[in-house]
Every structure is written in C-alpha cells, then in structure tokens.
Chain A
Amino acid sequence: MGKTVGDLQQAAARRVIRRQAASIVAAVAPFGIVFGASAATAGFTLLEAIGFSALIFGGSSQFAAAEILGDGGSIASAAVAGLLLNVRSLAFGVIMAPALTGAFWQRAAMSQLMIDESTAVGTSTTDPALRRYGYLCAGIGVFVVWNITTVLGHLVFSDAGDLINDLGLDAAGPAAFLALLWPRLRQRPQLRTAIAGAVIALVLVPIAPPGVPILAAIAGVVVAGRQTPAVKEGAGSE
C-alpha cells in the first residue's frame, strides 16, 4: 500500500545493515568482558570502569590507559597514550560528517558513537541515509553491549587477583591488542610502522618510566612514513 520500489529497496538495504551491525555488536561482547577484567586488575572501581566505557567509549584507548595505570604509569602518560589511540576518531568524523546532519544537539549526540565499528558499518554503503542508519545501528548496539559487558567483566574478576593469574587472563590484554593490530599488518606501511613502534617501545622499557615507551612508539609513524613514497593511493583509511 503506497510503497514504491525505492521504499522496498531501502527496507531490504536496512535489513542487510542491521544484520551487519548485529554481528559486529556480538563480536564486541567478549572484548568488553576482557576490558572489565583488565580495569579490575588495574585497580579501577566498578564506577570508574563504567565511566571509561560510557564516557570515553573507545575500546583500545581504554585498554591502553588501564594497562599503563595498572603498570604504575603516570596520569599524563596513560591519558596521552589513550588519546593518541583515539586520534583516528577525528578521521572517522571527517568521513562520516556528511551523513550525520541535523540540529546541533543531534550531531553532538551522534558524535559520541564515533568508533571503528560504527564507521565500518556506516561506510559500507554510499547512500547518506543508509550510512547514517548503519552508523547509528552499530554505534548504539556497541555502546549498550560494551557497557553491559564491562560491568560483567569487572564484577566477575574484581576480587580475583590470583584467579586472573591462574586463568592466564593477564595474557588476554596483549592478545586483544594483537588481535586489533592483526588486520593492519597486511599492508606494508602499517607493518613497517608496527615493527618500528614495537622496537622503540621495547628498547625504552628498561630505561624510561612506565607508559613512556608506548608514547615514544608513535615515532615509528615517522620512520615508516619517510620510507613510503607520498602515499599515492590517497588516504586509504578503513
């Protein structure tokens, strides 16, 4: 009744997007549990852990900050390392902005959802309305699941220092970092940057205060960037 072919195509496209978003949201759940556990290991209270997941809402940056603080790093090194990991949100925002139109408060609210997952689903289509739909489905879905699983992870592992060691959960953090890094290693400039960053950090661990080796690793971008002739393919971000 009164539905055009265009409407039906939109409905079908939205169904595909919802399915994409659902699988991405499901993949985030274990990661949230690991963050909750890492936060507990680093000595965060439940409220602090929720604050990280709801207010910062940026997976790898939350892990980095918890890791550095838990290791005795300073406030500055934890915050700067975390923020540097979120610099890519700036690029995501630039990519998504044309699809995220509306009143100031709407754009302000949608900005909080600017993460890898929402941008990935959002940019899987070209139509601005569908982009916005995918961005919101994945962004809201991840936000809800991320916060629930953070609480679960923290509750289960908060009083379990020995248990964390016995279950090998202190290896879960580095394994999670490696999993985040992995897809990037297929591209040469990314691989070079990763190796350079790892070497710089490792050399500095025994001589620099905790957290500093990780910050210094960003010099790896300069090393690898120099060797790359002008990045001709033009802003190949995902």
Chain B
Amino acid sequence: MSDAVAVLMIMTIGTYALKSVGPLVLGARLLPVRVQALVDLLPAALLAALTLVSTVGSGASISIDARLVGVVVAGIALWRRAPFVLVVLVAAAATALVRLLA
C-alpha cells in the first residue's frame, strides 16, 4: 500500500466523521462558543503555515527561489481583488519568468 493510499484511508474516515457529527448525531444542538471560536481560527494558522512552507521550504531546509516571487505576485493580485484563477496564473507566470531569466 502506498503512503498516499494510507493517508487517503485515514483522512476519508476522519473527515467523514467530522462532516457527519452535526447531521447524524447532534441535530439542532450547538457547540460551546469557546470551541466554536477555536475551530474558526484553526484554518488561519494552518493555511498560513502551508503558504509559507510550500513557498520557501524544500524538504528540511529553507530555500529562497523563484517560488517566492510568484507568491509575492499572488499577494499583490489578491490585494487588487483578483479572482482565484488569475491569482494562481500570475503566480505561476511570475515564477516561470524568473526561472527563464535566471
């Protein structure tokens, strides 16, 4: 079994459990406000870490390369309220351009 299949099985079961607790178990009851607030913050920490690590991480070291230019350009595009497609496209294009020129 490949690592991907193992992760797939664990995440399928775990994710479905998370998705279905509300409709299958809780019904109309609510989570405590404290828990709800923490749940609401979790993605921000994870997505920020993912953004940064996938921009400058390579294995167990930090490498500043063309990807960083792409992500900075993506940030500018987001700031200019560009739609998702455009954000990803300009990030890729900027990175490709830097590699072409380097």
**Which residues on A sit within 8 Å (CB–CB) of B95?**
168, 170-171
Stretch in A1-9, A11-19, A213-221 with 4+ CB within 8 Å of B: A213-221
CB proximity to B under 8 Å, residues A101-149: 104, 107-108, 110-112, 114
CB proximity to A under 8 Å, residues B35-88: 36-62, 66-67, 69-71, 74-75, 78, 83-85, 87-88
**Which residues on A sit within 8 Å (CB–CB) of B60?**
205-210
A122 to chain B, nearest CB (A): 12
A149 to chain B, nearest CB (A): 12
A58-90 Cβ-contact flags toward B at 8 Å (1 or 0): 101101110101011001001101111111111
Given contacts A75-B7, A75-B10, A90-B18, contact A197 B75 (CB under 8 A): no
Q: Is B101 an interface residue (CB 8 A)?
A: no
Given contacts A178-B78, A210-B60, contact A93 B50 (CB under 8 A): no
**Which residues on A sit within 8 Å (CB–CB) of B22?**
90, 92-97, 100, 111, 114
CB pair A83 B42 closer than 8 Å: no
CB pair B88 A179 closer than 8 Å: yes
- The residue in chain B whose Cβ has the minimal distance to the Cβ of A79 is B10
Given contacts A97-B26, A174-B91, contact A61 B11 (CB under 8 A): yes
**Which residues on A sit within 8 Å (CB–CB) of B20?**
93, 107-108, 111-112, 114
A186 to chain B, nearest CB (A): 11
B3 to chain A, nearest CB (A): 5
A108 to chain B, nearest CB (A): 6
**Which residues on A sit within 8 Å (CB–CB) of B2?**
45, 48
Q: Is A161 an interface residue (CB 8 A)?
A: no
Which of A78, A175, A216 meets B87, CB within 8 Å?
A175
Given contacts A48-B5, A79-B11, A234-B33, contact A197 B19 (CB under 8 A): no
A32 to chain B, nearest CB (A): 11
CB pair A198 B88 closer than 8 Å: no
Compute how far the CA of A225 lies from the CA of B24 in the bound complex, rounded to whole angstroms. Answer: 30
- The residue in chain B whose Cβ has the minimal distance to the Cβ of A183 is B78
**Which residues on A sit within 8 Å (CB–CB) of B3?**
69, 75, 78
List, sorted by A's number, 7 A–B pairs whose CB atoms are closer than 8 Å.
A56-B15, A93-B18, A184-B44, A197-B48, A202-B62, A221-B44, A236-B40
